[in-house]
Amino acid sequence: MYTQAMDLMGKEAGAPQAVASPEEQALQQRFDARIDAGEFIEAKDWLPENYRKTLVRQISQHAHSEIVGMLPEGNWVTRAPTLKRKAILLAKIQDEAGHGLYLYSAAETLGTSRDQMLAALHSGRAKYSSIFNYPTLTWADVGVIGWLVDGAAIMNQVPLCRCSYGPYARAMVRICREESFHQRQGFDALLTMVQKGTDAQRAMVQDAVNRWWWPSLMMFGPPDDQSPNSAQSMRWGIKRISNDELRQKFIDACVQQARVLGVGLPDPDLKWNEERQAHDHGAIDWDEFWRVVGGDGPCNRERLAARVQAWDDGAWVREAALAHAEKQARRERAAA
Ligand code: FAQ
């Protein structure tokens, strides 16, 4: 049993201390009890302000990641090696757009608007996953994104299907099903290249794995002891498994899959630890992670510029849709 009285007093957010009324205290206690009982919190329920803010932050960043995540793969649509691969890639990218829409909708139930969330992305205030700031240099990168990036996304997102906020949890169920197809298609594309390809194509796969391995491990976020949000998010049942635990599960799964593919993972310190029943691994370059998160990765500027350009190019569509809706509303008023 834990208490969120601190949240109610505003201490955790660094806000001036407010004295909670008896009604607010009762609401807080009821909320705490429901979290303890593992119940879903729904959009119309009372919830503490910091819980709402944390969810808006995480869900909107997740939505932005899906939308920005379309860009690295989009780079290869016109150069996919066969019609089949092109159709699969197009379907996958459309899925990512759909994931973004489910997630923006889930965040909107918390009282924020799509315009506010997009303004935060376009101004650089909102984060999106570090992984999408790396370039896709060859076709093998598209396969590796499916295998490693979608693989990491699934590992991180399956526990979110049990997140305490109902609209987010339900969106995640559908997203995870689709991510699973994405991971399989990436693995299949790589398997084809290593089994049926030339030596040059096998080398291309290995090169892509070498470049994406470490950034994929960074997707899980900073180590637990440097993760400012984890403790509170775990207590609220937003996060169910810690950053480090998920990263470890991902590494253990990938070692097996890399064996099947016949590729090496670029970590000389990666080895099975009998005592821990898990793989030990080399040090992750957290300076690189924070540089990329801070806006100074290989493609940060390019990615943000592409999103802002798409928003500006779409202005006429938004204006036309609004004009149509207003005209329709005028007609309905006149007919009433
Ligand atoms: N990149 O205290 P924590 C995908 C930030 S979707 C950038 O540990 P938290 C699908 C974090 O926001 C991939 N920033 O934070 C796809 C926080 O900053 P803030 C996205 C990161 O929230 C595949 C600060 O560092 N998935 O791949 C990253 O408790 C293929 C401190 O960190 C999700 O968003 C990062 N990697 O845990 C699409 C899943 N890690 O906000 C296309 C939902 C941390 O305080 C192609 N999100 N930060 O200023 C989560 O599970 C969590 O938000 C974590 C971070 C685990 C990402």
d(CA 311, CA 262): 42
Beta strands in the chain (DSSP E): 271-273, 278-280
Contact 143 CB / ligand 1 (< 6 Å): no
Q: What are the pLDDT digits (tens) for 77-107? A: 999 999 999 999 999 999 999 999 999 999 9
Q: Pick the residue whose CA is nearest to atom 5 on ligand 1.
A: 221
Q: Pick the residue whose CA is nearest to atom 34 on ligand 1.
A: 62
Q: Kindly indicate the confidence band of residue 13, based on its pLDDT and cuts at 50, 70 and 90.
A: very low
The two three-digit tokens of residue 250, written as one number: 């991902």
Residues 6 or more apart whose CB falls under 8 angstroms from that of 100 comprise 63, 64, 66, 67
Is 249 buried (19+), middle (13-18) or exposed (0-12) by CB count in 10 A? middle
Contact 151 CB / ligand 1 (< 6 Å): no
Q: What are the pLDDT digits (tens) for 115-168? A: 999 999 999 999 999 999 999 999 999 999 999 999 999 999 999 999 999 999
Question: What is the CA(249)–ligand 1 centre distance, in A?
Answer: 17
Place of tokens 């630890």: 273
Mutate to test the pocket of ligand 1, among 53, 56, 65, 163 (most ligand atoms within 8 A of CB): 65
Tell me what pLDDT residue 18 has: 66
Q: Which of the residue ranges 20-24, 160-164, 220-224 would you say has the lowest mean pLDDT?
A: 20-24
Q: Pick the residue whose CA is nearest to atom 27 on ligand 1.
A: 153
Q: What is this structure's pTM?
A: 0.93
Question: What is the CA(289)–ligand 1 centre distance, in A?
Answer: 12
Question: What is the CA(102)–ligand 1 centre distance, in A?
Answer: 17
Q: Pick the residue whose CA is nearest to atom 3 on ligand 1.
A: 227
Dihedral sign from CA coordinates of 147, 150, 156, 160:
negative
Beta strands in 176-292 (DSSP E): 271-273, 278-280
Tell me what pLDDT residue 14 has: 44
Q: What are the pLDDT digits (tens) for 227-240? A: 999 999 999 999 99
For residue 145, which atom of ligand 1 is closest to its CA?
30
Beta strands in 20-177 (DSSP E): none
Across the range 249-253, mean pLDDT stands at 98
β-strand pairing of 278-280 with 271-273:
antiparallel
Whether 103 and 39 have beta carbons less than 8 Å apart is answered as: no
Contact 127 CB / ligand 1 (< 6 Å): yes
Contact 141 CB / ligand 1 (< 6 Å): no
d(CA 156, CA 135): 22
Contact 229 CB / ligand 1 (< 6 Å): yes
Residues 6 or more apart whose CB falls under 8 angstroms from that of 311 comprise 118, 122
Contact 100 CB / ligand 1 (< 6 Å): no
Question: What is the CA(262)–ligand 1 centre distance, in A?
Answer: 30
Residue 272 DSSP SS3: strand
